[in-house]
Structure formats: structure tokens, C-alpha cells
Structure 1
Amino acid sequence: MARIRANGIELEYDTLGNPADPAILLIMGFAFQMTRWPDAFRQGLADAGFHVIRFDNRDIGLSQEMGGFSSYTLNDLAADAAGLLGALGIGRAHIVGMSMGGMIAQLMALDHPHKVSKLVAMMTSSGAPNLPPPTQEALAALTAVPLQRTPEAIADIAVKAQHAIGSAPHLRNSADTIRRYAIEDFRRSDRPFGVIRQFTAIQAQPRWHERLGAIPHPTLVLHGSDDPLVRPAAGEDIARRIPGARFKALPGWGHDLADAMSETLAREITSFLKE
């Protein structure tokens, strides 16, 4: 992994695959570090002939912690992503974003269209105010806070959250795997105030749904049929608003990046990008 200055801040990133291949930029969701992109998923993209770039959003992981009462919106996170490509000397890339990262990807296509080749938005929303809300259980899982900031307590929260919002049992990672990933991430970086600032950025973001008709890029919207946090209707709304966009619901998939979904997601995305 490496660190680079982009959009005026320091971003942690790494790459996989041949730098001469077309670039894919992966944008992670709320509160998660770039390490939660499954290795098998990234390898599938690289094996299909793509140069895969992932990074920690600001305030998370090993990227710059903004500190204090810093405030920003998703527009700033989109500028970070575009700035990262520029800092790496990449003219444009295919953009793949999940959850909050999918929102950032949409804003990147709107605000920095010259940096985007094709757009893939996964388990995310158009931001329209009339969409179905998350279930109460899913919302509680998203906002749960451990009583103590210990690896074990963080892991307990992660297991409960994934059982509330994750894929169907036959696809979802096991409790042991979820626990192991959570502890690995906690030991890599623990940014509770960064998580709060990211949540505030989502709430403070001016709505963008009415702008989506201006996106000129070929777009694929992937959503889990079982997603209780960001309902499939939110993904369908994106596809309706972006000219020519394609929507596909995947059975049994929830609001997670379960290892068992890696092959399916890599296949759906690379097939679309190669069209």
C-alpha cells in the first residue's frame, strides 16, 4: 500500500494488475476501509484485464484524518476520488462504487465527467427523498455503537450488523469470518470520529437525483434483492434517471460484500465493461 497527495489531502491506496490495462477505481462505502473489497473480487477484475485501484476515503483507514470540527460533503469525497486518478497520472477510469461509494461515484460522474469511462453503482441510492426507508433493524445495525472500543466488542457489532443487513445465509460470510475481518480492520485503523464525520457528510449532501439525467456514461446498477438497508427501489430509481442505464437485482444478495458474491460481481462488472 502507498500514500499519495490528492485534492489537497493524503490518501492511502493500492493497485492490482497491469498498469497498462484499463483502470477501475473502487470507491468504498460508509465507515469501511478499502481492505473490505474482497481479494477474490479484485483478482477477478485484474484477471479479466483491468488495473484495479482501491483507496481509503478520507477520515477512514490510513487516509488523512480530518480532525476536530471539520465538515465536508460527498462532493468533496468525489473530488478526492477524481484527484487520486489525477495524482496517479490516470486520465480516466471505470468507476465502481458500493453504498456510500456508489453515491460518490454518481457525483464523480456528474462533477468530474472527464475522469469517468463507465459507471457501476452497487447497493446504492439516487438520494431521492421519496424512496423506501431501511428497515428498523437495518438502521439500528448501521448506527450501533459498542460499549467499549475493543477488538472483541467491534467484532460483536460487526457480526450483528451483517446478520441484520447482509446477504442470505447461504451467501453471507460466516460469523467467524466477519469477526476476523472486523478485528483486522480495527487493528489497522480505528476512526470513530471519522465515521461520524462521514455520516454527517451523507446527511449534509445536497440532493443530486434530479441531476442524474445529465450523466452521459454507460451505467450498470447492481443491487441485492434482499437488501434491507438500501432497498432495491433505490437502485431502480438510479437506473430510471440515467439515460440508458441498466439495472440488475441479484437474488439473495444483501447489503454486504460477501466473499461468496465475488465471482458473480466480478463477472457482471467485467462483462459490462467489455461491451
Structure 2
Amino acid sequence: MTMVQRQIEANGITINVEDRGPEGGAPILFVNGYTSTMMSWPAELMDGLKARGFRVIRYDNRDVGKSEKLKGQPNIREVAASVREGKAPDIPYTLADMAADGIGVLDALGIERAHVMGISMGGMIVQKMAINHADRLISVTSIMSTTGNPDLPQATDEALAALQAQPASEDREEILRHRMKGRRVYQSPAYPRSDEALYELCAREYDHMYYPEGGLRQYAAIVGDGSRVERLKDVAVPFLVIHGLADPLVPPEGGIDTARSVPGAKLELVEGMGHDMPVELCPRYVELIAAHADAAK
């Protein structure tokens, strides 16, 4: 199957999708994280799962990449206050909407059920898929993510600042240097990328589509979902959690809480892994995800 990105209609909006095949393989849907595009996935992970016979599908979330851009500028403090008060926050869209986008991708591709895996915010989205669309899932893998439990340890000040900092100008090279600096803060300490590899990753994402305006709306969706702990207790889909023990952005307690909340979930804690997916660890990820998916058939 030719790896061609195309625009499809899913959940009422336009989503940019790439179906890497093979067509007859068990489908596995990749869901990316906060403000990142489909281009952030390591080729070694996708190729490894494809070699194991899985039909690899990735897509841009709404408000990033080449998928549809939404409108609205939510006030994050007001969103958080509404969640604390048990009220529905005033936000352009929710994590439930983003989960429905992924299910809409499956609909558009004619796929009845699929394995799903997500990183960071993508992990939250696949958790919502398991809560709201369990009948469409064969298995779930949540990577470097969390439950939204407010009692858990939060990101370090340095990691949070790196995530939220804005570049000094709109110049492409300035933006790439800014992104490289931020990623260095929360990368895997045991597996640091070379400057060349990190530049290539940041450039690939930038050249695919640079659209920082969507970040605030995605962040509002994360904050607005509150804690998923109680809802995850009813999940019956086979569930795998992978988390780095050196993650400063989403501390490992987030992964531990996710696995604790889902009945029967499996937990894999990885030494030296931060808030990224190093090439060196991709063979391990492939084995973990493939074994989990195969057991769930």
C-alpha cells in the first residue's frame, strides 16, 4: 500500500490521515500528543509494527498539522475553576470530541474495530476512546500519559516552562532552535538525540504544518476533562500502560495511576525514558505493543 496522506471527513470535520498498510493487517491507530503532528512518530516504531503484520494508521489531531483548525480562545483558569466546581467548562471542544475524531477515522476507512495507542495527550484520548467507544477497540496502549487525577505529582517547573515557552520570532530557524531547546529539557536522559536527529524531527514537524494557535484549545480540552479515574474503573478493554521513570513532564505516577485505575491493566515502567520515544527503545516498544495486541485478538 502506498503511504499517501489524504483528507477525510470524520466526526464532522476534516482529518488528515496516512494509512501505511498492509491492508489485510490488524489495524493499529496512532494518536499523537499535545500540539504534535503525525510526523512525530518514530519510523522505527511504525516500521516495526508494520513488519509484525499490523496495518499502521496515523493522523493529525484537530487543530494541528493538516487537519481542520477550530476557533475560540478559552480562558484556562476559568476552565480549571469550572472543573473544580463540577461544572461543564466553556471550551471549543473536549477530549471526548477528539476521541470521536479517531473513531471517525476508523469509520471513514471502513474499520469496525482497531488497536489504538496514544502518547501523552494522545494517551488521554485513547483512554476516552476506551471509556466512550469500547466496542470499537481491540486493545489500548497508553504511553507517557496520565488520568487527570489532580492529586498526582505535576510536571517540573523547568519542563512545564519548556512546553509553554514561545519562540522569540516567527523565523523558521529560530522556531526550530526553540523547539530543540524545549525538547532537550524533557527528553530521555539515557537516550539523548544528536543535534542532527533532533533538528530533523523538529524540521519535519514544522514543515508538515506550523500552527501554534491550536495549542490553547487542545490544552483547554485536557484541563476540561478533569479526572478520568472513576470512569476508567469501568473499562474492560485490554489495556497496556508504558511510562518512563525519568519523565519530568508527566511524572511516572501518572502512568502508575492509569494502570491502577483500569482493571487488569498491564504496566511497563522504563528506566532512563523521559517524555519522548527514543529510537533505541523502539524495538522494546514494538515487542510490548505487538505482544499486547496479539494477546487481545
- TM-score of the superposition, structure 1-length normalised? 0.96
Q: Deviations over 1:76-122 (max 9, x none)?
A: 10010111111110001011010000000000110111111111000
Matched with 1:36 is: 40
The offset of 1:46, in angstroms, is 0.6
The offset of 1:172, in angstroms, is 2.4
Q: Which amino acid aligns with 1:166?
A: Q
Quick one: which of 168, 177, 185 aligns to 2:205? 185
The offset of 1:257, in angstroms, is 2.0
1:223-238 matches, within 5 Å, as: 223-238=243-258
Distance in 2 between residues matched to 1:94 and 1:269, nearest whole Å: 10
Quick one: which of 188, 191, 214 aligns to 1:167? 188
The answer as to whether partners of 2:72 and 2:217 remain within 8 angstroms in 1 is: no
Matched with 1:58 is: 62
The answer as to whether partners of 2:138 and 2:293 remain within 8 angstroms in 1 is: no
The answer as to whether partners of 1:151 and 1:187 remain within 8 angstroms in 2 is: no
Distance in 1 between residues matched to 2:9 and 2:154, nearest whole Å: 37
Distance in 1 between residues matched to 2:279 and 2:35, nearest whole Å: 19
Matched with 1:205 is: 225
Distance in 2 between residues matched to 1:102 and 1:83, nearest whole Å: 17
Q: Deviations over 1:185-223 (max 9, x none)?
A: 212211111112111211222432211111001111000
Matched with 1:93 is: 114
**Residue 251, structure 1, aligned to residue 271, structure 2:** yes
Q: Which amino acid aligns with 2:239?
A: T
The answer as to whether partners of 1:36 and 1:257 remain within 8 angstroms in 2 is: no
Q: Deviations over 1:28-75 (max 9, x none)?
A: 000100011111110100101100110000010000111345711111
**Residue 108, structure 1, aligned to residue 112, structure 2:** no
The offset of 1:175, in angstroms, is 2.0
**Residue 132, structure 1, aligned to residue 136, structure 2:** no
Distance in 2 between residues matched to 1:172 and 1:252, nearest whole Å: 10
Matched with 1:75 is: 96
Q: Which amino acid aligns with 2:160?
A: L
Cα RMSD of the aligned pairs, angstroms, is 1.3
Distance in 2 between residues matched to 1:159 and 1:100, nearest whole Å: 20
Q: Which amino acid aligns with 2:30?
A: L
Matched with 1:119 is: 140
Distance in 2 between residues matched to 1:270 and 1:232, nearest whole Å: 22
Distance in 1 between residues matched to 2:232 and 2:240, nearest whole Å: 13
Matched with 1:5 is: 9
The answer as to whether partners of 1:172 and 1:260 remain within 8 angstroms in 2 is: no
Distance in 2 between residues matched to 1:60 and 1:74, nearest whole Å: 15
Runs (5+) with no aligned partner, structure 1: none
Moved more, 103-112 or 251-260: 251-260
The offset of 1:254, in angstroms, is 0.6
The answer as to whether partners of 2:37 and 2:65 remain within 8 angstroms in 1 is: yes
The answer as to whether partners of 2:154 and 2:251 remain within 8 angstroms in 1 is: yes
Q: Which amino acid aligns with 1:269?
A: I
Runs (5+) with no aligned partner, structure 2: 74-90
Q: Which amino acid aligns with 1:182?
A: C
Q: Secondary structure at the match of 2:61?
A: coil
The answer as to whether partners of 2:71 and 2:92 remain within 8 angstroms in 1 is: no
